[in-house]
Structure 1
Amino acid sequence: MTEYIDVRNPARRIEKDIRPGRLRTLPWMAFYYCLSAQFTPLAAALPEFQDHESIRDAAAFFLKAKTAEQTNAVQIDIGRLDERLNLAACDGKLDAFLPPGSRATGNLTIGVRCAGPKPWTIYVPAGVKVFGSIVVTRRALARGVTLHEDDLVVTEAELSTLTAGYIEHVRSAIGKQLKMALGKGAALTPRILEQPRLVRRGERVVISAQGDGMDIRMEGKALADGLQGERIRVQNLGSRRIIEATVTSAGVVQVRM
């Protein structure tokens, strides 16, 4: 199509160059560009709410630091937050902490807080499992049994569940006696072990009376059980006198003259 320009009225050329349909779109294009100019800075602004993963990451990093000195294998699990939870976006660093009285093992909660203009604190469920070697019984054992090496075996277990403690090495338990009966595979704990009773109530014992380079031995009767180093009541079978003596070895007690 051939167009002519009226030099006395140049605007007429513009009207011919722009079709009526395009003229109608110009106001909408102008409105779009205004909106773009108005909202472009928001793309670089902080999100309105704190990302849940950043909160979980802060809790995980805290627990890793807390368990860094563990020589045993450690497994850390961080629970998920309620998806409906909306916390204001923190413009600073998240601070994780352990609530007072808590231990960094087993099932626990980790506090995560924001100290920004819109402060908040949330508690994240977590779990820390520590795995290591423990001593367990190889078979069922009765109360009062003196432990030998073939009574015991070492196995791997989750240590964080053993709140009563545990024994790591077999040599630490050999020669000790059980305060209670145990089934096969039961974990040994310090509370259920004791030094062997070297003297039993009612048994005949040797009373060793020492002093001034002399060692006089007499026959006696134990009136109580005794561990090494314990003082128990003993009856001198010769004089029928009851005295206190210290257990020194199996069947032997000592008194000072």
Structure 2
Amino acid sequence: MRFLILIASLLVPVAAIADTVVPTRTIRAKEIIAANDLETKPQKVAGGVSDPEVLVGLEARVALYPGRPIRATDVGPPALVDRNDLVVLIFDRQPLSITAEGRALGRGAAGDRIRVMNLSSRTTISGVVRPDGNIEVK
């Protein structure tokens, strides 16, 4: 009977400690994260990133402080378009294709929807940032 109690006590699940990625220095918002900016600490944080390679090349959306865990919502793809950049607006519905010059009213990465002002008509419209930095108007 003692043997069964001993085995049962060994089978009790124990909370495992996972690694969490933390910055080694202060990383400002809009700054690209490099491999030497990161280290791992043996702690588990809900929503925290555990693989540093996932973060390399991404852009910080908020300020990241040394020793504090990095959450997945704190980073994102690098912005291709900044506020006040001159961009090309593209409306493409075959057989009609229209291009115009615009000014970005926000910043965004590929796939983000941002507002843009058409410089010809001074009309504000929204469009999706393409991987080449142009704005596709739908």
Q: TM-score range by the shorter chain?
A: 0.7 to 0.9
Which has the greater radius of gyration?
A: 1
2:27 maps to what in 1?
A: 141
How many Å apart are 1:233 and its aligned residue? Answer: 2.0
Higher relative contact order (CA 8 A, sep 6+): 2
CA deviation digits over 1:62-90, x for unaligned, max 9? 523xxxxxxxxxxx4xxxxxxxxxxxxxx
Unaligned runs of 5+ in 1: 1-53, 65-75, 77-127
Q: What is the total number of aligned residue pairs between the two structures?
A: 135
Letter in structure 2 aligned against 1:158:
Q
User: Residue deviations 1:120-155, cap 9 Å, x none?
Assistant: xxxxxxxx3x233332213211122222223223x2
Q: Which structure: greater helix fraction?
A: 1
SS at match of 2:18: strand
Distance in 2, Cα, partners of 1:59 & 1:225? 57
Match of 1:222 in 2: 104
* 1:150 corresponds to which of 31, 36, 61: 36
2:70 is the alignment partner of 1:188: yes
Aligned-pair identity in percent equals: 28
Note if contact 2:33-2:56 (Cα within 8 Å) is conserved in structure 1: yes
Matched, 1:173 2:55: yes
1:131 correspondence with 2:17: yes
The answer as to 2:12 corresponding to 1:63 is yes
Q: 2:12 is matched by which residue type in structure 1?
A: L
Q: How far apart in 2 are the matches of 1:139 and 1:250?
A: 32
Cα separation, 2, equivalents of 1:147 and 1:58: 47
RMSD of Structure 2 on Structure 1 (CA): 2.8
Structure 2: which amino acid aligns with 1:145?
A: E
Letter in 2 for 1:157: P
Residue matched to 1:21: none
Shift of 1:215: 5.3
Post-superposition offset of 1:254 = 0.9
TM-score (norm 2): 0.74
Normalising to structure 1: TM-score of the pair? 0.44
Q: 1:131 to 1:207 in 2, by over 3 A?
A: same
Aligned CA distance change for structure 1 residues 247 and 173 (closer, same or farther; 3 Å) = same
The correspondence of residues 235-250 of structure 1 with structure 2, limited to 5 A, is 235-249=117-131
C-alpha separation in 2, matches of 1:242 and 1:144: 25
